[in-house]
Structure 1
Amino acid sequence: MPAVARETTQSCPECGTEIHGDSRFALWCAACDWNVDPEEPRPDTGRLERAERALARRHGEQLLAEMLSGRDSRPRRDASALAAIALALTVHGATLALAVGGVWCVVAGWGGAGVVAGLVLLVLAWALAPRVSRLPDDRPVLFRADAPELFALVDEVAQTVGTRSVHAIAVEGSTNAYVRTYGVRGRRLLTLGMPLWEVLTPEERIALLGHELGHYANGDTRNTLVVGTALRTLSLWYGTLQPISRPSPIELAVNALYVVPRLLVHGLLVLLVRLTSQAKTRAEYLADRLAARTASTQAAVGLMDRLLIVEALDVLLRSEANRAALGGSRAAREVRARADELWGLLTTYAASIPEHEYERQRRAGARRGHQVDSTHPPTHLRRACLLAGDPEPATVLPQTHRTALIATELAPARTEVARRLLRDGVED
């Protein structure tokens, strides 16, 4: 992917309009949309992800109309949410029943057979029990003493959206950001993907924080302890019951025994996803609104546009990792020196993307329903929701000295993440 923009011109083969573009990106016609979406469709994904994407799109359109009509769109406990909680409790109840049954069999004994059966049930209960997430050990994790200015900004955003702040911040190499809980006390972890953070403006970073913390403020059903752990438990069950590939005769019999339980677990997983899909979609729209109220509508819309180019950023990162891999041992020695250069290269590239490429991505995204992932409503609908109504002013404003201090606090982590991105290319 060339780093330097080169202007190119041609006539549109459909309508004859003269097209001016950048040779690094697809040449397209704004007058008739010729070649607006030349990319190959994504490879087919699993049934569950396809179902999630379809639900997010359908509910995204329904809820956008609801929110634009002025009807009450606040989070609420409707019949679907109550049914999801009941189903989640049933899932946890099944795991508890295995544990209780195991203890009972061990105590009963039955001449030793009960002990064996009980131990099997206890192992199953232990394997299938919901797990409490822990802090990641494969990426940098910052606490308040490590980054006081960053936490002060997060605290200010949390207060603005009406929720408590986070206890830790992890930094990783994805073009993403998300929140989750960890530990038995339900402490909060914010994960920042450094490639995404680096290409955002200070205002867009505040919008990103407002969106992520907004998930705690608007009652996202899937973020609750009961439903969230039930989804993870069902996913674990479903993964465990997958048929063994190239089975031996004994494994073939095991595969046959797995068929009915696998279908049952898959049905429960799909049902729980369906019951929580509308609430999840509503939560994304509400989180976007909180992002706009925190950082301004303009900053939140800018964040939406940045999300349209994350695939291009990922391509650039993979290209740099491949270059490091092709360099062999010499590249391995230079990884440390090139780590900081990686972020400069990425931000320079993002800043050089012309407006007509963003417009192409917006039009193409509307055609194919671009989504950040399978749980988010289409990006163009989120953008339309933000632009409807009066623009929101910023509540939290970036401060030049704080921005500089935050960059200093993140410097060790950003260097480590860059090294890992490049080193993965060398080690592969």
Structure 2
Amino acid sequence: MEHDLAVQVSGRQLCPECGHALVATDERFTSWCADCEWNVDPAPPASEPGRLAAVRRRLARRHGEELAAAMAGEGTNRPRRDAPSLLALGLALLVHGVTLALAVAGLLLVALGWETVVQPIGGAVLLVVAFVLRPRMHGIPQAGPVLYRADAPRLFELIDDVAAVTGTAGVHAVVVDADFNAAVTAYGWRRRRVLVLGLGLWEILTPRERLALLGHELGHFANGDVRHGFLICQAMRSLSLWVETLAPSRAHTVWDTLFNIMAYLPRCAAYGLLVLLDHLTLRAAQRAEYQADLSAARAGSTEGAVALLDRVLVADSVQTLMRREAVAAQMTGGAAGRAAREAAERGLWERIAEHVSSIPAHEHERLRRVSVRRGHGVDDTHPPTHLRRERLALSEPQPARVDFGDERAAAVATELAPARTTVARQVVTGLAR
């Protein structure tokens, strides 16, 4: 909320704090003062993060500048895995060892304990617990249409070229969804790679920014992001399940009270291990983000990588517009409603891109200052966005090393057209995640 009214003088708004003229703006955007930063962040986050997220944010702020400075002399060389990462790997193996021990103990109790009734029952319980905590081989994400190389050869060719520049291999599949995001992951026992491409972000980017986006995501494979590793990722999932399962419940009976008492120490131990594992891998995860930014610069140029980080700042605006589009299209019923929804689907991505292009430079500047004030960007595992931007700006300027001219861009757009239509329908009908 604006805490005071700006003063009107000769048709201009003056800052109530320092008296300087406010940044010229229109009614769609916040009025603020570029001199004293009055009202630069009128709506700070209202909700407090959870305990683990709060710890992550404190560590991100504490180590962000130190890590950015330390990496200044590294260039593009990949550092060897540090001691905390190796310790995290050992801790992850210990967590999986506990799961294996539960399974072995359960099998022994079931196989050898038939002289009593209690032992097989206890063994069955241990087997169930081990089954729940077992490492999971996730399938391919089902957030939207899935494209394979035969469906979009030019898109996969582009991804292969970016992967070669970043020093890794391409992907097996591309999942297209509506998110203002992009991500990479692996699925199945063969650990096949998949790129999740959010059209909410992709559709507002220029060709160089799109190359930078692909370079950043594929850079996570190239630079060995420890949190993308199977063992550590699955260990954190198992510990989270322990904490969630052993959480205290409302004591309706004496058995509930007894369970809460017995679960207290195991829950504290599981939570402590989760925080420790998160702490040990946070610095490496931040380093991976900085390295992925450098991969983005190699693929799409330094200018494109910096512009990509600026684009991320308009996420709230894009997501709000998509919600408005969905609500407006569903306000009318019958044949008129169907016609309205079809019209909304046809021009959705164009309207989003037009909206973003209409955001004035001073609003982008305000968002950059908000990012600096809040000290954090995308989420509680990334380095602060303004430090990532400064790190790129201080690195050796890189030209775009992948060609993404008009002809190639048009071919990729043609291959994505069916997915664009499907995802637009999901957004308008409210089916998108």
TM-score in same-fold range (> 0.5): yes
Q: Point out the more displaced range, 359-368 or 412-421.
A: 412-421
Stretch moving more, 135-144 or 73-82: 73-82
- For the pair 1:108 / 2:112, whether they are aligned, the reply is yes
Q: Which residue of 1 aligns with 2:175?
A: 170
Question: Letter of the aligned partner of 2:347 in structure 1?
Answer: E
Whether the 8 Å contact between 1:66 and 1:73 is mirrored in structure 2 is: no
After TM superposition, give the deviation of residue 73 of structure 1 in Å.
6.7
Write out per-residue CA displacement over residues 397-418 of structure 1, whole angstroms, 9 at most, x where no aligned residue: 2121111111111111122112
Find the aligned partners of 1:235 and 1:331 in 2 and give their Cα distance.
Answer: 44
Matches within 5 A, 1:292-371: 292-328=297-333, 331=337, 334-371=340-377
The residue matched to 1:190 in structure 2 has which SS? strand
Q: Residue 416 of structure 1 aligns with which residue?
A: 422
CA contact (8 A) 2:57 2:376 kept: no
Structure-2 separation of matches of 1:332 and 1:129: 46
AA aligned to 1:143 is Y
1:372 paired to 2:378? yes
Q: In the aligned structure 1, how far is the partner of 2:380 from the partner of 2:332?
A: 36
SS in 1 for 2:275: helix
Unaligned runs of 5+ in 1: 1-7
Say whether 1:390 aligns with 2:396: yes
- Alpha-carbon distance change, 10 to 288 in structure 1, aligned in 2, over 3 angstroms: same
For the pair 1:97 / 2:83, whether they are aligned, the reply is no
**Correspondence 1:128 to 2:136:** no
For residue 71 of structure 1, report the CA deviation from its aligned partner: 8.0
Q: Residue type of the partner of 1:146? A: D
Task: For residue 77 of structure 1, report the CA deviation from its aligned partner.
Answer: 1.5
Partner of 1:3: none
Distance in 1 of aligned mates of 2:150 and 2:61: 42
- Structure 2: which amino acid aligns with 1:378? P
Are the counterparts in 1 of residues 143 and 175 from structure 2 also a CA contact under 8 Å?
no
Q: CA separation of 1:30/1:186 partners in 2, compared to 1, >3 Å: closer, same or farther?
A: same
The answer to whether residue 17 in structure 2 is matched with residue 14 in structure 1 is: yes
- The alpha carbon displacement at 1:246 in A equals 7.4
Corresponding residue number in structure 2 for 1:230: 235
**Structure 2 CA distance for partners of 1:374 and 1:334, relative to 1, 3 Å:** same
Distance 1:166 1:289 in 2: 20
Shift of 1:301: 0.4
Write the deviation string for residues 139-191 of structure 1: whole angstroms up to 9, x where unpaired: 21111011111110000000110001111111112111111110001111110
2:325/2:344 contact within 8 Å kept: no
Q: How far apart in 2 are the matches of 1:26 and 1:235?
A: 40
Q: Indicate whether 1:280 and 2:285 are aligned.
A: yes
By how many angstroms is 1:390 displaced?
Answer: 3.2
- Of 14-23 and 356-365, deviating more is 14-23
Match of 1:262 in 2: 267
Query: Which aligned pairs between 1:137-152 and structure 2 lie closer than 5 A?
Result: 137-152=142-157
Counterpart position of 1:184:
189
Q: How far does the alpha carbon of each residue in 1:358-393 deviate from its partner, in whole angstroms, 9 at most, with x for none?
A: 111111111111310111111100000000043211
Tell me, in whole angstroms, the C-alpha distance in 2 between the residues paired with 1:139 and 1:400: 27
Cα distance between partner residues in 2 of 1:36 and 1:113: 65
Q: Which letter maps to 1:266?
A: Y
Q: CA deviation at 1:58?
A: 2.0
Change in CA separation of 1:331 and 1:243 when aligned onto 2, cut-off 3 Å: farther
- Asked if structure 1 preserves the Cα contact closer than 8 Å seen for 2:140 and 2:187, the reply is yes
Length-normalised TM-score, structure 2: 0.92
Is 2:61–2:376's contact at 8 Å kept on the other side of the alignment? no
* Structure 1 partner of 2:7: none
Paired residues for 1:195-210 under 5 Å? 195-210=200-215
Partners in 1 of 2:168 and 2:95 — Cα distance?
29
Deviation at 1:69, TM superposition (A): 5.1
Do the aligned residues in 1 keep the contact of 2:143 with 2:176 (CA within 8 Å)? Answer: no
Offset of 1:327 from its aligned partner? 3.1
Aligned 8 A contact 1:102 1:118 in 2: yes
Change (3 A) 1:267 1:163: same
**Quick check: 2:330–2:341 contact (8 Å CA) kept in 1?**
no
1:161 touches 1:213 (CA, 8 Å); kept in 2? Answer: yes
Identity %: 50
Q: How far, CA to CA, are the matches of 1:417 and 1:328 in structure 2?
A: 21
CA contact (8 A) 1:200 1:303 kept: yes
Residue matched to 1:25: 29
AA of the residue aligned to 1:211: H
Match of 1:36 among 36, 40, 46: 40
8 Å Cα contact 1:173-1:195 kept in structure 2: yes
The CA deviation at 1:113 is 3.0
Distance 1:102 1:267 in 2: 26
Alignment partner, residue 86 of structure 1: 90
State the distance in 2 between where 1:60 and 1:362 align: 17
- The alignment partner of 1:160 has SS state of helix
Q: Distance in 2 between matches of 1:72 and 1:395?
A: 15
Whole-Å Cα distance in 2 between the matches of residues 24 and 143 of structure 1? 41
Q: How many Å apart are 1:126 and its aligned residue? A: 0.4
Q: CA offsets per residue over residues 314-372 of structure 1, 9 Å max, x none?
A: 11112222223433555466434421322121111000011111111111111111310
CA distance in 2, matches of 1:169, 1:232: 24
